[in-house]
Amino acid sequence: MKTTGQPQTSPTGPKKRIRRWQKGLIICLALLLTVSAAFLGYGRWWLADRLPQVEGTLTLAGLKEKVEVLRDGHGIPRIRAENANDLFFAQGYVTAQDRLFQMDMSRRMASGQLSEVVGRDTLDQDKFFRTLGLRRAAKASLPEYSDRAKKVLNAYAKGVNAYMDKAIREKRLPAEFRLMDYQPRPWTPVDSLVIGKYMAYDLGGRWKGQAFRHTLLQQFPKKKAMELFPKNPDGPTVIQQAQNSSLHLPKLLSAAVVPHENNGSNNWVLSGDKTESGKPLLANDPHLSIAAPAIWYQTRLISPDRKVSGVTFAGVPGIILGHNEQIAWGVTNVNPDVQDLYIEKRNPDNPRQFKYEGEWEKAKRIVEEIPVKDGKTVRHEVLITRHGPIVTEFALPEKKNATALSMRWTALDPTTELEAILRFNQAENWSDFKKALTYFHVPAQNFVFASKDGEIAYRANGLIPIRKKGDGLLPVPGWTDDYEWEGFIPWDELPTLHNPEEGFIATANNRITSEDYPYHLTHTWSAPYRIQRIRDVLNRNQTFTKEDMQQLQTDTKNLQAQTLLPVLLKELPDTSLRPLEKDALQLLQKWDFQDEVDQGAPLIFHLWMDELTKQLYRSIDEETMELFEGRDLITDRLIRQAGKGKPGIWIREAGGLKQLAFQSFRQAVHRAEKLQGDNSDQWKWGQFHQVHFSHPLGDIKPLHLLFNREAIPVGGSKMTVMAAGWNKKSGEVDHGASWRTVIDLANPGVSYDVVGPGQSGQVMSPWYHDQAVPWTQGQYHPTRMTPSDKDETYRLNLIPSKKDSSL
C-alpha cells in the first residue's frame, strides 16, 4: 500500500531546527524587551522631567518679597507671603505647577475653544458654549469687580504665566501639551472668571427639564405626559402655548452639554451643645464629576491680613470652600429654577427678527470665529434676543425654523462671585460672612456656617427670579411680556436660619422651604433619602466628634431601598422563580440596606431599578431620555403610588406593577449572572461599582495605560450619604464627593480632608493618585495652617528678581 507521510529526515534534524527557531525567538524577544524597557525608561524619565520644582529656590519676576511654599506629604501647598500681590501671584504659580493642563482645558471648554486643539470632534460643543456666551458674560462681569479684586485676578494671572513661560522656555510643559501638540496661551483674569461661569452652568442647569416636558406634551397625551412632571403646572395656558412649538428639541439639543443631574452635595453644622469639644462641627462634601485630576484644588494661603485653608477650582484665586482661624463654611446646590426657555416667533421675511408685543425686534448678531485644528476656521452666528441667546440652532445653523428657543439665565448677566469669595476668606463672624454673601449671585447655593464663638447659621443665597407668570416648568411665549422676570427674590427674604433650637442644620439638595414660602425656588429637589439619613443620625441623643462626622460622610445606608424594596418584593410571584432568581431573592430579603462593596444585594437592587426604569419608559426615545430631569424621584413616586393601589398610566401600560416588577427583576438577575457568574454567593457590588478616576486623555488607547490607574471598588450609591453615582452600563463611578472635609471649631487651624484621587494633575507626581484608595475607604488626613515638622516635607522659596509695585 502506497502511503504518504512526512519528509524523511535524520533523527536529529528536526530537533536542531526547533532549537534554532527557539533561539531566534528568544533573541527577538530579548531585543524587543530591551527596546521596550529602554523606551519605557525614557518615557518615564521624559514624564518625570516635566514635574515641577517643589524644593529649593526659584527667582521670579513679579514678586515684591520672598514667598515660602511648604508642601505636606500629600502635596498640599501652604503659601506664606508678606503681601496680597505675592500671595496670589504664588497661588497662580503653584496651582499651574500642579494643574496647568486642567486649567487650560477648563477655560477652553467654558469659552468654546476646544476645537482649536482637538479638532472637529468638539466643534458642536464649542458652538454650544459660544452660543451661551459664558466668556462674554465673564468679560462683562470683570468691570463690576472692585479694584482690590481686580488686583488679585491680575496677580494670580501673572503667577500662572510665570510658570507657563518657564515651562515653555525649558521645554517642560506637562505631557498632555506635547501629546496634543500645542502650547497654552497666556492666562488672563477673564479666564478665571469664565471657569466660575462654567461651574454656575454645571450647577444651575434647569433648561433640560423644560425641554423634556415640552417634548412629552408633543409625543404623548396630556394626562400621560403630566405624570412625569414634578408637579402639575399652574394653568392650562402654559401647556397650550408650549404645544404650539413644532421644534423637535431632543434632536436640536442632542449636541448640547447637559450638566450631571446629580450635581449636588451634603453639608451640615452642629452647635457646641451637640459636640464633644463644646464647639461647632462643620462637614461638607460637594458632589461633582469624579475624574483625574480632581475638580477641587486644596491650598492654604497665609499673609498678614488672611490665614485661610480649603479648596478652589484650578484657575480661580482664593479659597471657595474652607475655613480660617475664626469661621468655617460649606455649600450644597439649591437646584434653583434660574434658566427659562422662551419660544420666539421668527419673522418669515427676516430670520434675525423676532416678534415682541406685536412688533418685530432685531436680535443682536455676534459672529464667533472658531479655529479648528487641521481644518478651516468656522464662522458661527449667534443671535441674542431680549431674553437671551437662541439655543436651538447652534448644531444646525443653516436651518432657521419659524420658532426658536432662547435662554434667559442669571449667570449671563454680570456677577461678582469672586468678590464674595475673597471676603469669605477674611470674615471673622456671621455678620461679616452675611455681608460677603451679598456679592454671591450664581449659582444659588445652600451655605452653612460655623464660627469659633459658637454660632451656626444657614442661608440659601443667590439670584433667583420672580416670574410675572409661569414657574419654570415649560418653555414660555417670548412674543409677549406676560412671562418676563420681575426682578429677583429680595435678598432679605431668602431662606435663612441662625442658631436653631434643634442644634444642627443640614442640607442635601432637599426641599428647604415650607409650602407657605411666598416665592418659587425650584421643582426639582433631590430625593429625600440622603437628608433623612443625615437627620436620623444627627438627631441621636449623643455628643458627636469629628470622627463621627467622617463616618457619616461615608455612610452607605440606602433608605430608598429600605422604602421601595418591600413594595417591589411583594409583587414577585411565589412560584415561577428560577433557582438563581430565588437565590437573588434571598439576598434581598436578608439585606441590611447597606450599599457595601462586598455584598451582592446592592448589585441586584440597583440593577433591578435600572431594568425597571428601562421597561417603564421604553416608549421614550433615547435622545428624549437624555433630557429627563428628575427621573429617579419621579420613578420612585410612581412605584410608591402603585404600591398603594393607585397605579398611573405609565405603570398600567407597562403591564401593572406586578408584571413590571417581575419582568425587570428577572432581567436584573440575568444581567448579574452575565456580569459575575451563576453563583449568587460570589456577587459583589464592588466588583461592578468601581471608580477609575479617568483622565481626559485616558479614553484614547493606549494612553489609558499612562493616565488611568486600576479601578477601585467603592461603596455607596446615588441615594446614600456617601454619594457615588455610576455609569449605568459599565458600573464606573463617575460622580460623587470629590472633596470631603470636617472642621472642629475648637481647633479651626486644622481640617480633616480627602481629595480624590490626589492633589496633582502631573501623571508622574507621587500626588497624582495617592488619595484614591483613602477616598474609597473613608480615610482622611489632617491639613494644618500652622507649619509642623511632622507634616511639611517640601520647602520651595520664591525670590523676587526685581521690585514690582503693580499691586
| 265 in active site | yes
Backbone angles phi and psi of 177, in degrees to 5: -65, -40
**Among 115, 265, 406, 664, which one carries the catalytic annotation?**
265
Residue 566 grid coordinates: 418591600
Lookup result for grid cell 434660574: 338
Buried b (16+ CB within 10 A) or exposed e, 605-634: bbbbbebbbeebbeebeeebeebbbbbbbb
Buried b (16+ CB within 10 A) or exposed e, 23-32: eeeeeeeeee
What Cα–Cα distance (Å) separates residue 643 from each residue in 46, 565, 566, 647? Answer: 62, 11, 9, 8
DSSP per-residue codes, 90-131: HHHHHHHHHHHHHHHHHHHHHHT-SHHHH-GGGHHHHHHHHH
Give first-to-last CA distance, the chain, whole Å.
105
Q: What is the dihedral of CA 116, 121, 125, 127, to 10 degrees?
A: 60
Q: DSSP 3-state assignment of 237?
A: helix
E-strand ranges in 290-348 read: 296-303, 306-313, 321-324, 327-333, 339-347
C-alpha 402/C-alpha 767 separation (Å) is 55
Residue 609 grid coordinates: 431599578
E-strand ranges in 371-412 read: 378-384, 403-409
C-alpha 156/C-alpha 148 separation (Å) is 13
Residue 720 grid coordinates: 446614600
C-alpha 283/C-alpha 281 separation (Å) is 7
CB 462 within 8 A of CB 440: yes
CB 388 within 8 A of CB 344: no
CA 279 to chain centre: 32
Does the annotation place 340 within a ligand binding site?
Answer: yes
C-alpha 404/C-alpha 384 separation (Å) is 11
Which residues 6+ apart lie within 8 Å of 292 measured at CB?
693, 694, 695, 698, 707, 708, 709, 757, 758, 761, 768, 769
Nearest one of 323, 297, 301, 329 to 311, comparing CA atoms: 297
Nearest one of 510, 511, 523 to 474, comparing CA atoms: 523
Longest CA–CA span in the chain (Å) reads: 110
Q: Which region holds residue 454: left if phi is over 0, alpha if psi is between -120 and 50, else beta?
A: left
Question: H-type helices in 411-520, by residue range?
Answer: 417-426, 430-437
Which residues 6+ apart lie within 8 Å of 445 measured at CB?
203, 331, 332, 333, 334, 460, 461, 462
C-alpha 779/C-alpha 773 separation (Å) is 8
Residue 152 grid coordinates: 488679585
Buried b (16+ CB within 10 A) or exposed e, 395-417: bebeeebebbbbbbbbbbebbbb
Q: Reduced to 3 DSSP states, what percent helix, strand and coil does the chain have, rounded to the nearest 5?
A: 40, 20, 40
DSSP per-residue codes, 625-674: HTT-TTHHHHHHHHHHHHHTT---HHHHHTTHHHHHHHHHHHHHHHHHHH
What does DSSP assign to residue 377?
Answer: P
C-alpha 615/C-alpha 752 separation (Å) is 44
Rg, Å, the chain Cα set:
29
In the annotated binding site, the residues are 337, 340
In the annotated binding site for Ca(2+), the residues are 337, 340
Residues involved in catalysis: 265
